[in-house]
Amino acid sequence: MTEREARWRGSVSRRKALAGLAAFVTGSEHLHGQRDLFRDHSRVAGLDEMRDVFDFEAAAYERLDRATYNYTARGGGSEFTVRRNRDAFDWVDLVPRAIGGPGRPETSLDILGTPLQFPILLAPSAAHEALHPDKEEATYSGCTEASATPMIVSHVASMPFADIAKANGGPLWFQLYPSSELEQNREPLVSAQNAGCGAVVVTIDQQASFYDREVHDRNLSLRPRRPARYSGSAGRYRFASRRMWYEWRLFEGLRTMVNVPMLAKGILTREDALLAIEHGLDGIIVSNHGARTLDYTPSSLEVLPEIVEAVQGRIPVLADSGFRRGSDVLKGLALGASAVCLGRVPRWGLGSFGPPGVARILEIVQEELAESMTRCGTASLAEVGPSIVRTHFP
């Protein structure tokens, strides 16, 4: 090898030079916002620029790591029901009045002894620690700021119910994933009631055995990788059995531990609604778990009217799954819901701007609801009914 060839082989190639330049530019402190691989811009809008609830989803996407965002976004199976939950609102039209109701409509009510300034609650959701360092306490702070919106605290929250309640804010309810060993339910139920929970919500639908997104991309899950508890050889098909034991008589045992109103969450049929009444439930929540359970189920909005008709006003009927806007809330109320629960939406607010984000989202939905009621000529919740909507469900 000649001296010239040796120098050539040891010199920096164009490819290496470009790679070094790229590394230098990427590491610049002036480009610290360029962390997102999935968007074509880097600027995250500020809280004062948020005009729509869906603005918060984009902000949360920008601020959160991919696994955390997808934990909130995903649904069961192929996510057909995730899409159907939103499509359902396109199948319900609001009927405006040429001249709306005078003044601001009355939106306050009482549900099972809990006062609400608006017919809106926060649905239970897990792992707020991944969204904000102050966990569910931050969410609760945002709820309290937004007209003391009631928060349903998840059984699998990042912090104990009693610690959240210490903040002394708005109303709190507690959501329970029941254990098959009845006595194991006593401690969380007693602890929540001692801390002042106004109602207990028992989730009775099934968690999804798998999520297609998680199966095909292991980086999408917040959950640690550990062997699931499967039933026999079905494990190879991801069939989890840990919540396949539920029976209606469960509520007879839970009632001995619960001294506050108790609701069943996960009702999608008139038959189950009637069974809930038969077994002494004080209320029900029409829900498909935000489409995170069995895929290809109907949306909550579709089945709401038949369930309300079956219940005949004997107990309050709440609804969740897919609600995003104030007009969505009004559609749910017109179809018979006493109130609506928001799940993913406040998580967007918490993940993007913390407690102020939660408060701003709730305030936007509240104002949208009031405006929609006015445009439909309804001066109070008592005037909201089927006459202000037209449905064309498939």
The set of catalytic residues is 289
- Distance, in Å, from the CA atom of 142 to the CA atom of 170, rounded to the nearest integer, reads 10
- Distance, in Å, from the CA atom of 389 to the CA atom of 148, rounded to the nearest integer, reads 29
- Distance, in Å, from the CA atom of 139 to the CA atom of 132, rounded to the nearest integer, reads 9
Burial of 230 (0-12, 13-18, 19+ CB in 10 A): middle
Helices 300-311 and 80-90 pack at an angle, to 10 degrees, of 70
Joined together, the tokens standing for residue 112 give 């099972």
- C-beta separation of 334 from 385 below 8 A: yes
Mark out the alpha helices in 134-234 (DSSP H runs). 135-145, 161-165, 186-194, 212-216
- Distance, in Å, from the CA atom of 167 to the CA atom of 161, rounded to the nearest integer, reads 11
3-state secondary structure of 292: coil
- C-beta separation of 354 from 263 below 8 A: no
C-alpha dist (Å) from residue 7 to 3, 16, 19, 21: 6, 16, 20, 22
- Distance, in Å, from the CA atom of 203 to the CA atom of 124, rounded to the nearest integer, reads 10
Please state the separation of Cα 299 from the chain's center in Å. Answer: 15
Nearest to 136 by CA among 353, 354, 289, 352: 354
Give CB contacts under 8 A, 24+ apart, made by 40-48. 44/352, 47/353, 47/356, 47/357, 47/360
Number of residues assigned to the chain: 394
Q: Which residues, 6+ apart, have CB-to-CB distance to 2 below 8 Å?
A: none
- Distance, in Å, from the CA atom of 286 to the CA atom of 274, rounded to the nearest integer, reads 13
Residue with tokens 């600027």: 43
211 phi and psi, to 5 degrees? -120, 130
